[in-house]
Amino acid sequence: MNTQTNPLTEADPTVAGEYFEGRWHQKGRNLTTRDVATANTDLQRKVERINNNRTLSTEAKRIAIAREYRTARDHVRALAQESLDHVTTQRAKLSRRLFGFEGTADAQTVIVRRDAADRAAKIESAHEAQRALQMAEANGDTHLAQAIAAQSFANGWADVVHTWFDANPQASETAKQLQELPDPSDGVWRMQHAMTYQVVPPAELGTMSDYQIDALADTVLDGGDAA
């Protein structure tokens, strides 16, 4: 068990990290491939042991390899989902902190926030959002201003969000943390994420699809299982 102190949590306790190769790596910000590499390496070793087992027929070896591949693939898929869930959770947590929706609130405040969110959701352009934000701040309507900023952030209206940051400088550090996290809705990031969390099928399985590999793995030879 690693006993090294994680410096990443000193500034932000919500950061998840793991220690390997002599330093801490932050999950979410940089895709972590150590577990994936381990899964691929373990699969290669198991395939080698299966191929060296002289008691197995050629077909029995293919079935055993298919089973090992399926196990590794499903494990890595679970890691990918865990990584995605972590990023999504952290973004939601930071968004609530950034736009003032953390903590408990009385019934009246909940109603006011909901009304503000509904009004902000009806804004259709950055120009309209900018005007609405300026009016809300001039009227001292902090809930509406926060809702407009949150909606603008979701819509990518950077100028509006920066206007709100200018009036709320205490939010800048949280905003920086949020911006440094990947955006799961970004297609390029999702493609990189998918490419990172994958297991290479053993050569013994050729060009079989995952569906075909699963069917092979479920095969039972006469006289018992493959391995």
Q: Where are the domains of the chain?
A: 8-93+186-217, 105-180
pLDDT score of 224 = 52
pLDDT digits (tens, 9 = 90+) for 167-212: 888 787 788 888 788 888 888 888 888 888 999 999 999 999 999 9
Model pLDDT for residues 62-121, shown as the tens digit of each residue: 999 999 999 999 999 999 998 899 888 888 888 888 876 665 667 888 888 889 989 999
Q: Do 102 and 96 contact (CB within 8 A), yes or no? A: yes
**Which of residues 167 and 128 earns the better pLDDT score?**
128
* Cβ neighbours for 99, distance < 8 A, ≥ 6 positions apart: 146, 147, 149, 150, 153, 171
Confidence band (pLDDT; 50, 70, 90) for 2?
A: very low
The pLDDT of residue 104 is 60
Of the two residues 96 and 36, the one the predictor is more confident about is: 36
Least Cα distance to 155 among 114, 181, 121, 202 occurs for: 121
pTM of the predicted model as reported, rounded to 2 decimal places: 0.67
Q: How confident is the model at residue 20 (pLDDT cuts 50, 70, 90)?
A: very low
18: enclosing H helix or E strand:
strand 17-20
Name the DSSP letter for residue 16.
-
